[in-house]
Every structure is written in structure tokens, then in C-alpha cells.
Amino acid sequence: MWKRNTSYNMTIREKITAWEPAAEWSAEGDGMLTVPVETFHDLAVRLKREGFDFLRSLTGMDWGEGRFGAVYHIESTATGENIVLRVFTPAPDKCGLPSVGDVWKGALLNEREAYDYFGIQFLNHPDMRRLYLRDDWVGHPLRKDYDPALNPLRMNNEVSQDSTPHFELMPDGSLIRKREVIFDEGEYVINVGPQHPATHGVLRFRVSLEGEIIRKLDVHCGYIHRGIEKMCESLTYPQTLALTDRLDYLGASQNRHALCMCIEKGLGLEVSRRVQYIRTIMDELQRIDSHLLFFSCLCMDMGALTAFFYGFRDREKVLDILEQTTGGRLIQNYNVIGGVQADIHPDFVRRVKEFIAYMRPTLREYHEIFTGNVIARQRLVGTGVLTREDAISFGATGGTGRASGWACDVRKRHPYAMYGEVDFDEVLFTEGDCYARYMVRMREIEQSLRIIEQLIDNIPEGEYRTKTKPVIRIPEGTYYSAVEGSRGEFGVFIESRGDKSPYRMKFRSTGLPLVSCLETIARGAKIADLIAIGGTLDYVVPDIDR
Amino acid sequence: MTNNSYIKGFLHGVGSLLTGLKVTGREFFTPKVTEQYPENRATLKMFDRYRGELTMPHDADGNNRCIACGLCQTACPNGTIRITVETVTDPETGKPKRRLARYEYDLGSCMFCQLCVNACPHDAIRFSTNFEHAVYTRSKLVKTLNKI
Amino acid sequence: MFDFSIVTQAIHTALLSIMPEGLAIFLECVVVGVCLLLMYTVIAIVMIFMERKVCAAFQCRLGPVRVGPWGTLQVICDVFKMLTKEIITIRHADRFLYNLAPYIVILASVLAFSCLPINRGMEVLDFNVGVFFTMAASSIGVVGILLAGWSSNNKYSLIGAMRSGAQMISYELSIGLSILTIVVLTDTMQLSEIVERQADGWFIFKGHIPAIIAFIIYLIAGNAEVNRGPFDLPEAESELTAGYHTEYSGMHFGLFYVAEFVNLFIIAGLAATIFLGGWMPLHIPGLDAFNTVMDYIPGFVWFFAKAFFVVWLLMWIKWTFPRLRVDQILTLEWKYLVPIGLANLLLMVIVVVFKLHF
């Protein structure tokens, strides 16, 4: 291959060190590069130009002694190369970081989250409101010196602001606070959610309409915010596992898989092949479960209530299989550190095979009743187009990204468990519209069946659980593991200080990027399209709000 | 050309609608999947791994295997379990001995993570498959598991 | 075939013998009105029960089974529940119009309902432009819906009402065209007369191709006219929560709900009357024994059987298809149904002129 410049063979770490001599490498855990804040924005622009166009995760941090900052996980979609950057705020009392929302659009909501949790003000961020907590919240809860007594339960309503703060850095180094208007007086703003049949939970939008056409859309998250990341900081590692099932409840198995993988990576623990097989099969069953629910809910949103029941009828069969082995339907508690909670049920293999035999013809039925239907096509084809660039920029992984032509499947990008050894296709569409997003999921059910078929007959013998020490302590360092959740990349970031509970645990939400790109997709669409778009983006709200 | 596609599209659309009607029409006459819950109580059996509520099995003499070590209490992320320990003198050896006085379990705050069962060194507690938990007051959800 | 007018005549003469004519007619009107309202309610209850059972059967469920045998008392209990619920008044609503709207909707529905010829001699309103009157009366309903959406002071309601206005006014056209096709065939607009002309064969058979096309257009447009899926945009529960009746509670909501179901019955009943021979029994030429047996079945049984069959068809459609979008609904009407309806009308004229019908 023709090489554009001589630096092509250098790793990105070497390149950054060449650009920024002040960058420091710390090798604990996964290792990361600390870069100076003054030139961080230029570095981000440069990285983007080098092909690092996917911001996997942005984590706000409080390193103690008044040192705040953020950790950025960045990947190049072309080469698959990864880099982790760390930036400190300029001074302990000054909480300003340059916003990289103009480089990676997905950073916008993540920066709001970091502001909400840590009070880090991102300069030139167009919308520096809190993301999850109320606007009248006192203090920033994930700061280590936060006092919960500051915020008693408030009994008054929160009034939605029509304007938003915005911070700019003056040449003399001081911050000025401006306000930007979101909705004008005369706009016809309707409130969709948090109690609304089509928001799949308690997500809330404020939508400015012109007739039936959407002009602006403003997302309000946090109605089911439980502070899971904060809770994790006071729980032991095995205890944190119980919370992951409650993030994306349709990806319980995969979420917990990611956390177990991350902890096992920190501990240097190898799990047996039997466990890898079981985890892979469980993840795929979970994916089928989630996609069936996706089909059902999309049909319901589109008004085809009967198809909804068909999807649920068949999902019940998956849930029965899961329940028999794990003891739970939504909250399965199956993966544990070093293995799984219990060996697979003696009936498991038989039932899974029966299910596969049942599911294939049923999928045809779905296509007959909904996919082929002229009304469904009219409503899905060509509506809510997300371009590939936008999908990457927002970090909209999962079916949404693949519908836009972005090969973002973690199972292919960073194979884990058995995914490196099984044969399956990454379903890709290029249209990026609602129909492509829908079809990706329907095809993925077939692929999941295919993966399970390859594994189910040759689950190797072995122990289903490696014994671990009674108290688990991860060596000091930072760790990031990701799995392909039901609706995208689900990542776990742990910063450990060698204690029995994590110093900081961050979950890369699969739903937050999907919600952040909603405004771009829905602008100019009709109000009925918003429902189709929301349905095909397939977000799960507890996973967004955490 | 456009006329052709207009008619073709129209016929194709009608065809797809009829296909949909065929599927639902078939479903209209197939047996239904609804389970009639309170009526089928006698035959309804949960999977044996189902986590309904925490129980402490007792043998025929009313003894349990709990040694009041408190590991389950420490393992619980929610503070669901409260163990009260009493010290009694062993009638045979005459030495003081720790014994379980009360094992309180708050079903209302349990999140069924199974960490307590995993932590128990003597297999003294396990989850039962009972799923009918409805009670009228919250205090009734706090259960004493050991027989006193 | 039993003629119900014998009964009404007998009652009339009996009343005349004991009171002056004016009083007798007044009394008869009151009795007829009460009977009509009673039947209206009964049909509403039956329809709601049917909807719940039929939709459950399509969705692999059982539907209501707890209250009464096979859940038959469920709807009656729901009616009582609805009656006992509080009617909540909305702040900043236009109180007068807000309270008036459900009554306009129900009035339109009752008026159209009273036009249906149920049996020979059992029509309440029957005159020479009966078809026009039915359509005119049923279109008053859209006024009620628009008022409800406007006066509720709710943005969802308003959008629902606007959609409803656009939709119902458009689909009136297709209904009119498809009925006109049959009027061309019968050369009468009196509903009882239309039924009588079908004694030797229902119009859907007599008019063959154009009549079948008109029947299908009528079903689609009729479905849209009563705001039922896949044309339920004005309420579109996943978009507008409940559309124009979002802010209504208690019996005010109940009136909308009942009117929706009876309107569906009216559409089906009209279809039965115009296309399927109303209360005329099924006759197959040549099978005299069969025809005599069919004649023993009373007319109203035939009418209700046909009407409920059409209702079942419409429910089948509703519970199969996803909802259309507002622009697609208008596209369907103006780009497909109206041109096809016009061409079909022309075809029927040709059929009638050249005596190609049976």
C-alpha cells in the first residue's frame, strides 16, 4: 500500500508524543496518555484529522485534592487503533476544559454529564445545562467531597428553562457565562414524555412544531437516574455486578458480561472455555430477546398492535429459556467474576435447539405481517436518515450505526468470548433510514441464531466458575472493556486504587449517543416520524440515565 | 413508465396488505397462549432456580444450619439482612457459644442478587420459588427467617 | 318475510281509538326515541365487547373472561365505572364548547343510526333522500371532534382535531362516490327502497365488478371516516396520547368512546344495507328449498348478521395494519381512492346504460 507520509508506521501514542512533548504516559492498567489542557482542543482536531473519528467514551473524573478532568477513549474507525487520553483542568479552583463537541458530536451530552457530576465547565459548549439532575441541584454529586445532605427531597416542580448557559474563555483567562435561547416565546412547543406511550420509559423531549413538522427538539434525561456510578464507588466489586442488570434491562447479560470482563482483566483472571461458550450463547439469546422486543415495540408505536403481541409471544420463549438457567427473566444475575452463577440447566441445550427451529419460520411471519406491509414501508423507508459520518461522530453504535454503513460491531472490532471463533456476518446497510435500522435488527436475529447453532452442540466440559478470593481487589490502574450490547457498544471503565471498591466506575451507555443524535435525525421530520425514529433507534431509558 | 409504476406499486401494496391479513386471519383461529393465572395455580410451577424470596430451610426438628457468621449480611449491597446474635453457654462443654437469635430479611429492599446465598459457607439460606409477595403493609415484608 | 309495519300500524290504530291524533303521534315519537336510544346503547355495549374479544383473538389472547360467563358482563361493568367517574373540568378550557363537543358527536351518531332500516317496516327515518341525510347527519360529528380538540386547551388535542378535520372531510368524498355508484344502479336514494330492489339479488352481486370496487372503497373510506385503525391518526395513542379526547374524563369520554363504536356499526350497517341487501335474505337462484329456509330467518337477523360481519372485517383490518402518517392518508385518498372511485362511477354508468348488470 502506498503510504502518505513517513509517520504512518508510528503508533498514535508516538505521534501524540511527537506533537505534544509534554504528554506523559502512565502504564498502570490499560495505560493512558496525559496531555496538557492548553492545547487539548488543537490535539483533538488533529486526532480527528488522523482518522480518530470515534469517541468511544468520555469520563469525567475527580482525582482528589481538587484535581478534576476527563478521560477520553478514542478510536480510529479506519484502522481500529485506540488511544486513551487524560486531561486535567487548568488549576484546582478553575474548572474549565475545552469542549470537543465540535470535533466529536457525541461529546456534547457526555460533557453535560461530566458537568452535572463534577462541575467541570466545558468552554464553548453550546448548552451547558445539567443532564440528569434537576437544575436546582446543589453541588455535583460525584465529587469526592460531595455532601448528600445538601439536597433533601424537593417537593416543588422543576420548571423547564427555555434558555441555557454557555461558558466562554476571555483572553485574560476569565470565564464568562452567557445564556442561549432554546425556544422562543412564539414557538409551538409540545412536551413528549416523560409519561408518553412512545418514549419507551421516562425519556422526555420538548419539541417545537410547525404544523406537523419538527423544527427543534430538546432532550431531557434523568427521570430514572439512580446514580449507579456513584453507588458503585461504595460497593465491593461483586456487589457492583448486581447493578449492571438494571442499566439496560434488555441487555442484562451483556452488561454484566462487560463488567465481569473488565474486572477479570484487572485481576488477570482467565475464565474457562466452557464459561466463554455459555456467556456467548447467553449474550446472543439476550440479543434475540431484545430485538424481539424492539420489533414488538416498533410495531406498537406504528399502530400495529397485533404484531406487538406476536413479538411478545415469542420473546416469552427466550425468557423461559433464560429463566430456567439463570433464575431470572430481566434481572438474570448470571455472570459472576470468574464464571457464571450456575451451570447451564440440563434442559438448556434441548430447549435452545427447539427455539431455533421455532424462530426461523416465525421470523418469516413477522416479515409477512410487518416488514412487507406497504404502510410500514411507506412510513419507514427514507425517514430519519442518519449519515455514516454523523453516526460515527455521535458514536451511535449498534444497529443504528450499522444501518448507516458503519461497521461498528464490537464482536468484530475487538472479539471477546467466543466471537473470534464463530462464523457470523456483520449486518450492514447503507441507507441509514428507519427501515435500514429496522432490518439490521431483524437480520441480526438470524445471525444470533446462527451463532448459537454453532456453539450449542459443542459446549466443552470444564468448570463453570473459577474460584476467586473472598475479597477482590483490582491492582491500581484504569481498565476499559466493551461488549456489543443489544443496542451498541456497552463499555465499562474502572479506575482502581487497589481498594475493594472501585475509585470510579463509568458505564458507557449505549443509549446516550442514540438520544444525542435524535435532534439531527428528527429535525424536519413529522411528529409521526419522531415516533418511528425513536422506535428504530431502540434506546432503553434506564441505560441512558444510569 | 410512471403510470406503470403507479399501478404496479398499487397492486404490490394491496398484495402486501392481503399477506398481512392472511397472517392475522390464521392467528384468529389458532389456540390462544394466554395463561389464566389464578386458575392455573395448581399446575403453575416456577423454574427451580427462580429467585422468589430468601428462605432458611429447617430440618424436621426445627434446626437450621446458620452459624450466625454474618457473611451474608456483609455481602448484601442493600442492607437487606439483619442478624442478631446471642451468646449462650453450651450445656455440654460449658463454654460460651455464638448462636443465631434472629435472622431478619427485608423482602422490600432485596434485589435478588444472590450474593448472600453465594457467601453462605453452610448452605443455610436459599431462594424459594414463591412469587406471591403481595402484602398490605410494608412492615410485613420484613420477615424473620429462623424459627424461634 | 315479516313486515314490521303491521305491528306499528296496530299500535297506531289502538292509540288513535283512545286519544287525539296529535297526542298519539307525540307519544309514538317518544316511544320510538326511547327504543332507539336503548338500542343504541345495547349496540354500543355489544360492539365494545366484540371489539375486545375479536382483537384478543387476533392477538393470540383470550380477552375478557372474568366478569360473567366468557366475560360478557365486563363491558356493562365498565359502563357503570365510567358513569361513576368524575368529569374533570380543565382550567383555561373553553367551558361551553368543551362540554358541548361530546354531545354533538353523539347527536350526529344517533341521527345517522336512526336512518338504518333494520327490518321491513322498521325504519325510523325513511324518506326519498335517505342516503344524503345519513351522510349529512354523520358528518356533523367532525364538528364535535374539532370543537373538542380546540376547546380542550391542549396541544395534543389540537393536533388530533386538525388531523381529524383534514381526514374526515377528505374521506367524505370517497364515501359519497362509492354510494353514488350504487345509487346509479338503483336510481333511488330511499334506503328502504334500496333494500327492496335487492330482493332478487344483492347489489354486490348484481353490480358485479364496479359494485365490488365500490364496496372496497366504501370500507376503506368508512374506516377512515370513523377514525379507526389504520386511520386512527386523530387519536394515534403512540403519538398524541389520545388525540382530541385527551382531556375528557368520565362519561364525556364515554360518549366519544360509544360514538366511535356505534359509528363503526353505522358504517357497517350502511354497507350491509347498500351492498349486501340489508334485511333481505340470501337467495340462490334455482335452489328453491334453500331459499324458503332462508326466508324463515327474520329480516333483522339478516341485517345484524351482515352488519356484524362487516364490523368483523373492519376489525380484522384495524388489528392487522400499522397506522398511516397524515400526509399518506391524504395521498391515499386523493391519489388513489378518489380517481379510482370516479373511474368506477363511470364504469357503473356504462354497466347500467348497456344493461350489463344482472
Q: Give the separation between CA A52 and CA A78, rounded to whole angstroms.
A: 8
Q: What are phi and psi of A367, to 5 degrees?
A: -65, -35
Q: What is the DSSP string of C17-48?
A: HHS-HHHHHHHHHHHHHHHHHHHHHHHHHHHH
> B115 and chain A: CB distance < 8 Å anywhere?
yes
Total domain count, chain C: 1
Q: For A326, how many CA atoms within 13 A lie in the half-sphere containing its CB?
A: 30
Which tops the pLDDT comparison, C7 or B115?
A: B115
Span C225-253, pLDDT tens digits: 888 878 887 777 777 777 788 888 888 88
| Burial class of A87 by CB neighbour count within 10 A (0 to 12, 13 to 18, 19+) | buried
Contact residues, chain B, for A316 at CB < 8 Å: 33
Say which amino acid occupies A496.
S
Q: Give the separation between CA C158 and CA C94, rounded to whole angstroms.
A: 13
Chain C residues in contact with chain B using a Cβ-Cβ cutoff of 8 Å:
54, 56-62, 65, 316-317, 319-321, 336
Q: How far away is chain B from the Cα of C263, in angstroms, using its nearest Cα? A: 23
The three-state secondary structure class of C111 is helix
Name the class of domain A12-162.
alpha beta
- Count residue pairs from B and C with Cβ separation < 8 A: 35
Residue C1: predicted pLDDT = 61
Say which amino acid occupies C328.
Q
- The answer to whether C82 touches C253, Cβ cutoff 8 Å, is yes
- The answer to whether A134 touches A152, Cβ cutoff 8 Å, is no
Residue B136: predicted pLDDT = 92
Q: How far away is chain A from the Cα of B129, in angstroms, using its nearest Cα? A: 9
- The answer to whether A26 touches A34, Cβ cutoff 8 Å, is yes
| ipTM of predicted assembly, 2 dp | 0.83
Q: Is C113's pLDDT higher than 70?
A: yes
> B43 and chain C: CB distance < 8 Å anywhere?
no
Q: Which of C239, C241, C328 sits opposite A527 (nearest CB)?
A: C239
Helix ranges (H only) for B49-128 are 71-75, 115-119
Residues 6+ apart with CB under 8 A from A128: A111, A112, A115, A121, A122, A164, A165, A166, A167
Q: Cell 339478516 belongs to which residue?
A: C302
Is the CB of A327 less than 8 angstroms away from the CB of B16? Answer: no
Q: Within 10 A of C270 (CB to CB), how many other CB atoms are there?
A: 25
Is the CB of B50 less than 8 angstroms away from the CB of A328? Answer: yes
Q: Within 10 A of A539 (CB to CB), how many other CB atoms are there?
A: 25
Residue C223 lies in a domain: yes
Indicate the DSSP class of residue A335.
E
- The answer to whether A386 touches A399, Cβ cutoff 8 Å, is no
Is the CB of A369 less than 8 angstroms away from the CB of B24? Answer: yes
Q: Is A4's pLDDT higher than 60?
A: no
Is the CB of C336 less than 8 angstroms away from the CB of B10? Answer: yes
Contact residues, chain B, for C319 at CB < 8 Å: 24
Q: Give the separation between CA A265 and CA A268, rounded to whole angstroms.
A: 5
User: Where residue A2 falls among pLDDT bands split at 50, 70, 90?
Assistant: very low
Chains in touch with B (3+ beta-carbon pairs under 8 Å) read A, C
Q: Which fold has domain A228-337+347-456+473-540?
A: Cytochrome-c3 Hydrogenase; chain B (1.10.645)
Give the torsion sign (CA, A516, A519, A525, A528): positive
Instruction: Please give the residue of chain C at the shortest CA–CA distance from B32.
Output: C60
Q: Structurally, what CATH architecture does the domain formed by B53-144 represent? A: 2-Layer Sandwich (3.30)
Domain locations in chain B as residue ranges: 1-33, 53-144
User: Where residue A288 falls among pLDDT bands split at 50, 70, 90?
Assistant: very high
Is the CB of C321 less than 8 angstroms away from the CB of A526? Answer: no
Q: Is A156's pLDDT higher than 50?
A: yes
Is the CB of C60 less than 8 angstroms away from the CB of B30? Answer: yes
Residues 6+ apart with CB under 8 A from A339: A271, A272, A275, A463, A464, A465, A466
Q: How far away is chain A from the Cα of C228, in angstroms, using its nearest Cα? A: 11
Is the CB of C321 less than 8 angstroms away from the CB of B34? Answer: no
Q: How far away is chain C from the Cα of B24, in angstroms, using its nearest Cα? A: 6
Q: Closest Cα partner for C230 from A162, B21, B2?
A: B21
Span A484-528, pLDDT tens digits: 888 888 989 998 888 888 888 899 888 888 888 888 888 888 888
Which tops the pLDDT comparison, A468 or A444?
A: A444
Is the CB of B112 less than 8 angstroms away from the CB of A333? Answer: yes
Domain region containing C68: 36-353
Q: In the predicted model, what is the mean pLDDT of chain C? A: 84
Q: In the predicted model, what is the mean pLDDT of chain B? A: 83
Cis omega (within 30 of 0) for bond into A90 = no
Average pLDDT for C338-347: 89
The three-state secondary structure class of B127 is strand
Q: How far away is chain B from the Cα of C61, in angstroms, using its nearest Cα? A: 5
Helical pair C208-225 and C299-318, crossing angle rounded to 10 deg: 70
Residue C23 lies in a domain: no
Q: Give the separation between CA A333 and CA A339, rounded to whole angstroms.
A: 12
> B141 and chain A: CB distance < 8 Å anywhere?
no
Is the CB of B32 less than 8 angstroms away from the CB of C62? Answer: yes
Domain locations in chain A as residue ranges: 12-162, 228-337+347-456+473-540
Give the pTM. Answer: 0.87
Residue A469: predicted pLDDT = 80
* C316: Cα separation from own chain's centroid: 16
Residue C135: predicted pLDDT = 85
Contact residues, chain C, for A531 at CB < 8 Å: 238-239
Span B14-66, pLDDT tens digits: 888 888 888 888 878 888 888 888 888 888 888 888 888 888 888 888 788 88
Residue C21 lies in a domain: no
Residues 6+ apart with CB under 8 A from A507: A228, A229, A244, A247, A255, A490, A491, A492, A493, A546
Q: What are phi and psi of A485, to 5 degrees?
A: -75, -175
Is the CB of C322 less than 8 angstroms away from the CB of A313? Answer: no
Q: How far away is chain B from the Cα of C349, in angstroms, using its nearest Cα? A: 23
